Amino acid sequence: MNRKTKWAVALLALSAIRQPMWVTQSFAATKIFPPITDAAYQKECGSCHMAYPPELLPARSWNRVLGSLQDHFGDSAQLDAATQQRIRDYLVAHAAENAQNEHAFAIVHSLRANETPLRITATPYIAGIHSAVLDPLWGGNPRPKTLAECGVCHLQVQNGNFTMRKFTVTDEAFRSNHLD
């Protein structure tokens, strides 16, 4: 066996042991995010904005967010050390790379290894599927002032479901590429 064949055999053997999730699970089942189970996260972060599913950012981003609460997008979101650590542990444990979720998978793989965005909407995958919404020339309605409150458009978001939308996207190309 030459080198290439050896590699191919090794890869095949590996994939037989640990099948990737997208082979064994249906995509539809992995689109819904599980409910937030940490009361401290819900209370402390959820009073100013929706408590985002932790699956929407990689662990390195959550660590960066939790390390810069003194200046949280221009606001002070200071917490006592114990609460901060508890929330950090929760978010990291459920971060995108640790989740069995189609969107989380896409978020992780849209990022370069050296990229650590603070905003969910700064990840290439999420920015990409919202580009039409953010486009000032977009003919859809209504154009949100900010993307911080997912529930303005995603009406089922309290159930972890981002698939249902209030608005009508008029751009057919966008619709066929990005919606459902």
Partner 1 sequence: MTDPKSGEVRRCSLCHSTDLRRSGKHATTGKVIEPMAPSVNAKRLSNRADIEKWLLRNCKWTLGRECTPQEKGDVLVMIRGR
Among the candidate windows 107-115, 119-127, 142-150, 167-175, which touches partner 1 by CB under 8 A?
142-150
Is 48 near partner 1 (CB under 8 A)? yes
H runs (alpha helix) in 21-101? 21-24, 39-46, 59-66, 81-93
Q: What is the contact mask toward partner 1 in residues 56 to 95, using x (rule: CB under 8 A)? A: -----------------xxxxxxx----------------
Number of other CB atoms surrounding residue 44 within 10 Å? 19
Contact predicate 87/38, CB 8 Å: yes
- CB closer to partner 1 out of 78 and 177: 78
Minimum distance from CB of 164 to partner 1 (Å)?
20
By CB under 8 A, tell whether 133 contacts partner 1. Answer: no
Count the Cβ atoms, other than its own, within 10 Å of residue 87: 24
Q: Please pick, from the candidates 112, 145, 168, 180, the single residue that binds partner 1 as defined by CB under 8 A.
A: 145
Query: Helix count (H) and strand count (E) of the chain?
Result: 9, 0
**Residue 104 in contact with partner 1, rule: CB under 8 A:** no
Rounded Cα distance, 73 and 58, in Å? 18
Q: Which residue has the tokens 């905003």?
A: 119
- Window 7-46: contact mask with partner 1 (x via CB under 8 A): ----------------------------------------
Peptide bond just before 53 cis, omega within 30 deg: no
| 122 near partner 1, judged by CB under 8 A | no
Which residue stretch of 32-40, 48-56, 60-68, 127-135 sits at the interface with partner 1 (rule: CB under 8 A)? Answer: 48-56
Q: What's the gap between Cα 98 and its chain centre?
A: 12
Identity of the amino acid at 151: G
